[in-house]
Amino acid sequence: MDKFHSRYGKNIWLTEYACHSFTGKGKCSSSQALAFMKTIAKHCESKTWCETHMIYGSFINSRTGVSKVNAIYSSSSGSMTSLGKAYLTI
């Protein structure tokens, strides 16, 4: 984000970020997903040019390959997950 902003001088909306391994060597754990979300949120909120950040995870059924540990809503219980509740506090 920093390089993009420096190069183009544009404000950024960070959308659909999630803890995900593109190497195929395992998935993120729930604690890793929470830590990743908090790290990204803290970084984005420290930049005046980062106007908003929206975690990926408001899905009920994912066909994208993004792990369910990134879900902020539980379709089985009909309520927010612990990650979703944490997202609401930032």
Q: What percent of the chain has pLDDT over 70?
A: 91
Chain-centroid distance, C-alpha 56 = 5
Which carries the bigger pLDDT value, residue 76 or residue 4? 4
Exposed/middle/buried for 62, CB within 10 Å: 0-12, 13-18, 19+? Answer: middle
Q: Which long-range contacts (CB under 8 A, 24 or more apart) does 62-68 make?
A: 65/20, 66/18, 66/20, 67/18, 67/19, 67/20, 67/27, 67/28, 67/33
pLDDT at position 21 is: 78
Strands (DSSP E) contained in the chain are 12-17, 50-55, 73-74, 79-80
pLDDT in tens, 5-18: 999 999 999 988 98
pLDDT at position 64 is: 66
The yes-or-no verdict on residue 56 having pLDDT over 90 is: no
Mean pLDDT of the chain: 87
